[in-house]
Copies of this chain bind each other. A is one copy, B any other.
């Protein structure tokens, strides 16, 4: 099985509320067809989720007002998801949407329940399950943000994928933020031991899922449950496709384990 995360920074203009990058969505969904293996697709929320989730403080403590803000963000994220689904349909796949708000429950931000049944059943019948970063029910906080990366970890644990690909808006993990630090070097591979080499800067944008450092820690955890895990540039044509086919591509190989 192949597991792919289409980052919100590739699918959307992350700085502008609800702005899809339609050409990237069309190209990337096409790259997921004809791989000859089961695929599960996870995508980020980008500017359809983070901007308002932050404004409405959806990761904060329980309150009656949170429901309305959450409902707006859920609606917005589904609008982005509908574009991804349209792309997958056009590419000839049979996408089935399994929103985390319906199949997953949190408790104080941690996964408390996750129903894998629909993922297994639809895969068996020839579908491509699609899920995404979303606002979901939380026993303690009422609702909270469930990132696409949290879903990647749960799915990797359950399916032990042959290959996990993260499509980012840069070539992989760098020694520092390549958009801000001149001379930042691409790491060809990263393990836990390499983390001191990386200068993590706190996220400036409206990210509500913890920034790059939290992301990398989660990727290391995910890599422990997969044969192969790699971060590639989703803005470069066919890089996601080639990575999923097991070809050698520019990117950062993530090496799990202690």
Interface residues of A (CB under 8 A from B): 62, 64, 66-68, 70-72, 74-75, 78-79, 82, 85-86, 89, 92-99, 101-103, 105, 113, 115, 117-118, 121-122, 125-127, 137, 139, 142-143
Pick the contact of A94 from B71, B92, B127 — CB < 8 Å? Answer: B71
Contacts of A118 in B (CB 8 A): 101-102, 105, 137
- Pairs of residues from A and B, 10 with the lowest C-beta to C-beta distance, nearest first: A67-B94, A102-B102, A71-B94, A67-B126, A121-B137, A125-B142, A68-B94, A98-B102, A67-B127, A102-B103
List 16 A-B residue pairs with CB atoms under 8 Å apart, sorted by A's residue number. Answer: A62-B125, A64-B126, A67-B94, A70-B96, A71-B93, A78-B78, A79-B82, A96-B101, A102-B102, A105-B117, A113-B117, A115-B115, A121-B139, A125-B142, A125-B143, A126-B142
Residues of B within 8 A of A70 (CB): 94, 96, 127
**15 extra interface residue pairs, beta carbon distance < 8 Å, beyond A97-B99, A125-B137:** A67-B127, A68-B92, A70-B94, A71-B95, A75-B89, A75-B95, A78-B78, A78-B82, A79-B82, A82-B82, A98-B101, A102-B103, A102-B118, A115-B115, A126-B142
Contact B99 A71 (CB under 8 A): no
Q: In the complex, what residues of B have CB within 8 A of residue A97's CB?
A: 74, 78, 99, 101-102
Distance between Cα atoms of A75 and B85 in the complex (Å): 7
A62 nearest in chain B by CB position:
B125
CB-defined contacts of A103 to chain B, threshold 8 Å? 102-103, 115
Contacts of A139 in B (CB 8 A): 121
Contacts of A96 in B (CB 8 A): 70-71, 74, 101
Question: When chains A and B are docked, how far (Å) is the Cα of A104 from the Cα of B236?
Answer: 39
CA distance A143 to B101 in the complex (A): 22
A146 shortest CB reach to chain B, Å: 13
